[in-house]
């Protein structure tokens, strides 16, 4: 291994997911090169079944790096929030916010393709296996295998954007005991660009307009998710219909996938010359669609600080401090919604109904929730 030539790189990013690619492009826009490495072959995001609700703020950032997938994005005009078998509901409307949309729904694969199209030819290495990371006072040395060859890279800054890591002892994990079953399904009549967030005792049910379909996130306890995954299309459609109610009917469900749900928070975002961003720093419940929206703000903020102040320890400390409010606020907001709504406790149901009603008749409170969805931490004064 010591015979292998040492290659010098200013910034190495492990993980060419949407967050890692955004960071590479935001740095490149300011004249700073970085290298992305990923263990997956380049085409594999094409198999990712997720659709992401992107905030209006995320669209603005993606536009700045020419990676907004306009042709593949379905606008959200209204969001209807309600609880199953309980009173109270809130409607958030884009016209109250003078915006063309509250947010947009985009398939993960279309977002990944739009970002990848903007990368320079030498920006990434795919199908890489990281063999070793050795930190010293000034640098890190990374040994990896790529295309059958061993390579050694020395970098001043290593950025972790590997997404959710299941075995990282530095991450605090809280199990929601819920799984998200995701599917695309045709609504009748059409969706009119309305997103639905319906709270049920089993967990939240989200319907996101995507093309002519709804992308459904059907959250259930693990055993019920097993049952739903095993159903034929007719039984599955009936199960979804019974959770949603009768305001709309569904047909032609596509293939189903499932994701177990956890809250994972890494306490330290910076350690020596290493930084953690995106899902590797925090993985949230998908209930309010905050995950990538938070991750893109991580990438953006880090790029801005590095471009302004250069790569040194004070920049990294400034980055960690600057992200505290946004990540903790987003995690708290999401976690509280899941815990308050995912039960069938009578008094809580009443309080939730009153809360939804209050939200509906109180514009400042509704604005706060809407702004958190549209802008993230900028919702705070
Ligand atoms: C069901 C579901 C619905 C969701 N809905 C929304 C939503 O509506 N809105 C929203 O904003 N977010 C949503 N999210 C969250 C969103 O998917 C994530 O926040 C986002 O994908 C994180 O991007 P990332 O780049 O940090 O990680 P990832 O997308 O996981 O990418 C990580 C990359 O790192 C690579 N990698 C991993 N380990 C290594 C390694 N050891 N070496 C090299 N490369 C490695 C992987 O191959 C991958 O390419 C949802 C999540 C789920 C599960």
7-27 pLDDT, tens digit per residue, is 999 999 999 999 999 999 999
Q: What is the mean pLDDT of residues 112-131?
A: 96
What is residue 74's predicted lDDT score, i.e. its pLDDT? 98
* CA–CA distance, 111 with 58 (Å, rounded to integer): 11
Ligand 1: which of 279, 281, 334, 372 to mutate, most ligand atoms within 8 Å of CB? 279
**Is any ligand 1 atom within 6 A of the Cβ of residue 22?**
no
Ligand 1: which of 39, 129, 274 to mutate, most ligand atoms within 8 Å of CB? 39
181-199 pLDDT, tens digit per residue, is 999 999 999 999 999 988 8
Cα 38 to middle of ligand 1, angstroms: 12
CA atoms within a 13 Å half-sphere pointing along the CA-CB vector of 270:
19
Atom of ligand 1 nearest to the CA of 55: 11
What is residue 381's predicted lDDT score, i.e. its pLDDT? 36
Q: What is the mean pLDDT of the chain?
A: 89
Q: What is the mean pLDDT of residues 251-267?
A: 96
Cα 292 to middle of ligand 1, angstroms: 7
pLDDT at 257 over 70: yes
What is the H or E stretch that residue 338 is in? Answer: helix 313-341
With bands split at pLDDT 50, 70 and 90, how would you rate the model's confidence at 225?
very high
Q: What is the mean pLDDT of residues 369-374?
A: 67
SS3 189: coil
Residue 52: count other Cβ atoms within 10 Å of its Cβ: 23
**Is any ligand 1 atom within 6 A of the Cβ of residue 16?**
yes
Ligand 1: which of 13, 17, 145 to mutate, most ligand atoms within 8 Å of CB? 17
What is residue 67's predicted lDDT score, i.e. its pLDDT? 98
- 63: exposed, middle or buried (Cβ count in 10 Å: 0-12, 13-18, 19+): exposed
What percentage of the chain exceeds 70 in pLDDT? 87
Ligand 1: which of 24, 35, 38, 218 to mutate, most ligand atoms within 8 Å of CB? 38
Identify the CA nearest to 21 among candidates 217, 300, 324.
Answer: 300
Q: What is the mean pLDDT of residues 331-357?
A: 66
Name, in order, each residue with C-beta under 8 angstroms of 224's C-beta and a sequence gap of 6 or more.
202
What is residue 98's predicted lDDT score, i.e. its pLDDT? 84
Atom of ligand 1 nearest to the CA of 259: 53
Which region among 201-205, 249-253, 259-263 has the lowest average model confidence (pLDDT)? 201-205
What is residue 97's predicted lDDT score, i.e. its pLDDT? 82
With bands split at pLDDT 50, 70 and 90, how would you rate the model's confidence at 362?
low
Q: What is the mean pLDDT of residues 152-162?
A: 97
- pTM of the predicted structure, to 2 decimals: 0.92
Nearest 5°: the CA angle 17, 226, 51 is: 30
**Is any ligand 1 atom within 6 A of the Cβ of residue 106?**
no
- The two tokens of residue 68 are 């907004």
Largest CA distance in the chain: 70
What is residue 269's predicted lDDT score, i.e. its pLDDT? 97
Q: What one-character-per-residue DSSP string does 282-312 give?
A: EE--GGGS-HHHHHHHHHHHHHHHHHHH-SS
Q: What is the DSSP letter of 86?
A: S
What is residue 339's predicted lDDT score, i.e. its pLDDT? 73
What is residue 354's predicted lDDT score, i.e. its pLDDT? 58
**Is any ligand 1 atom within 6 A of the Cβ of residue 50?**
yes
Identify the CA nearest to 341 among candidates 223, 201, 191.
Answer: 201
64-97 pLDDT, tens digit per residue, is 999 999 999 999 999 998 877 666 678 888 988 8
What is residue 76's predicted lDDT score, i.e. its pLDDT? 95
């Amino acid at each position: 291994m010591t015979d292998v030539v040492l290659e010098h790189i200013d910034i190495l990013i492990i993980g060419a997911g949407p967050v890692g690619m955004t960071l590479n492009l935001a740095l490149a826009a300011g004249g700073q090169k970085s290298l992305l490495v990923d263990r997956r072959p380049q085409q594999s995001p094409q198999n990712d079944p997720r659709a992401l609700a992107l905030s209006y703020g995320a669209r603005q950032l993606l536009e700045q790096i020419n990676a907004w997938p306009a042709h593949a994005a379905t606008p959200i005009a209204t969001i209807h929030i309600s609880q199953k078998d309980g009173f109270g509901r809130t409607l958030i409307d884009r016209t109250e916010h003078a915006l063309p949309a509250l947010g947009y729904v985009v398939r993960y694969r279309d977002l990944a393709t739009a970002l990848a199209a903007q990368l320079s030819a030498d920006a990434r290495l795919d199908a890489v296996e990281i063999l070793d990371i050795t930190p010293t006072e000034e640098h890190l040395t990374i040994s990896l295998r790529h295309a059958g060859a061993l390579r050694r890279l020395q970098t001043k800054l290593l950025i972790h954007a590997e997404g959710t890591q299941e075995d990282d002892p530095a991450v605090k994990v809280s199990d929601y005991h819920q799984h998200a079953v995701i599917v695309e399904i045709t609504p009748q009549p059409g969706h009119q660009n309305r997103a639905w967030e319906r709270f049920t005792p089993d967990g939240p049910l989200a319907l996101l307009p995507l093309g002519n379909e709804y992308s459904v996130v059907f959250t259930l306890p693990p055993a019920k998710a097993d049952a739903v995954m095993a159903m034929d299309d007719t039984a599955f459609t009936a199960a979804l219909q019974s959770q949603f109610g009768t305001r709309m009917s569904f047909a032609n469900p596509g293939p189903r996938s499932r994701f177990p749900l956890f809250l994972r928070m890494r306490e330290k975002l910076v350690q020596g010359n290493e930084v953690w961003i995106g899902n590797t720093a925090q993985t949230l419940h998908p209930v309010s669609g905050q995950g990538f929206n938070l991750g893109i703000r991580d990438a953006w903020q880090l790029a801005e600080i590095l471009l302004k102040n250069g790569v040194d320890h004070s920049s990294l400390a400034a980055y960690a401090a600057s992200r505290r409010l946004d990540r903790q606020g987003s995690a708290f907001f999401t976690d509280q919604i899941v815990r308050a709504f995912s039960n069938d406790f009578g008094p809580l149901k009443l309080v939730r109904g009153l809360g939804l009603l209050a939200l509906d008749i109180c514009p400042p409170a509704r604005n706060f929730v809407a702004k958190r969805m549209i802008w993230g931490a900028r919702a705070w004064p």
